[in-house]
Amino acid sequence: MPRAFAPSVSRSENSLQPVPARRPTREEALEAVRTLLRWAGDDPRREGLLGTPDRVVRSYEEFFSGYGVDPVALLQRTFEETDGYDEIVALRDIRFESHCEHHIAPIIGKVHVAYLPNKRVVGISKLARLVEVYAKRLQIQEKMTAQIANTLDEVLQPKGVAVVIEAAHQCMTTRGVHKPGVTMVTSRMLGAFRDDPLSRREVLSMIGTQGGAKLDNV
């Protein structure tokens, strides 16, 4: 379930996650799905469910493919020939699908990423890939927001970074408090976007959010 404020995230959490001591075998994963099917009250041996464990395990490979990618390495290739371009670079409405780490329920939303270059820029598809790498892990929205911003800051060393995420959490809409239509907004501002109100206002107007109360206290 979404939490009310962003915890601080250390930079060491930005790279590859620690690998568990022993990865379960595929057969163990299939058996775990069968156990959950029995726990739900059904019979994994009935015809309609026979292929389900295999499909679930393959879905997990897709949902959680971000654990196998190093986001820092992903951004390493930068370009310096910008002809002195020193204004904001913003990529809006990057759709993402993630899963909350508390319920493994989908989180679906949009990420807006912006930075103020300091000589170096990165290919825009890399920004989208960066979002993808963190989305394809178990997440809470606050952590994902901070991880994207911190990684960009660390690798590009720009003058400012802004990341805003708007998302719906299915753990809130399909279970628990059952509140459909609720969107959570989180933001992380670094450098000039954090310290300079004018730059902050400019970037927020570029990415289409007006910096309301929800944005300001994250």
**102 lines the binding site for Zn ion (CB under 5 A):** yes
Q: Which of 97, 102, 157, 170 is flagged as catalytic? A: 102
- Per DSSP bridges, beta strands 89-100 and 138-139 are parallel
Q: Which amino acid is at 130?
A: L
Residues 161-200 that bind Zn ion (CB under 5 A): 171
Measured from the CB atom, is 90 or 184 closer to Zn ion?
Answer: 184
Smallest CA-to-CA distance from 137 within 57, 68, 35, 58 is with 68
Position 113 contacts Zn ion (CB under 5 A)? no
The yes-or-no answer on residue 76 being catalytic is: no
Helix (H) or strand (E) holding 185: strand 184-191
Strand partners, 120: 118
Q: Is 99 a catalytic residue?
A: no
101 is catalytic: yes
Q: Is 17 a catalytic residue?
A: no
List, in sequence order, every beta strand (DSSP E) within the chain: 78-79, 89-100, 106-116, 121-122, 138-139, 160-169, 184-191
Of 94, 100, 113, 127, the residue at the interface with Zn ion (CB under 5 A) is: 100
- The correct pick among 103, 119, 120, 214 for binding Zn ion (CB under 5 A) is 103
Interface residues with Zn ion (CB under 5 A)? Answer: 1, 100, 102-103, 171
Active site residues: 100-103, 141, 169, 171
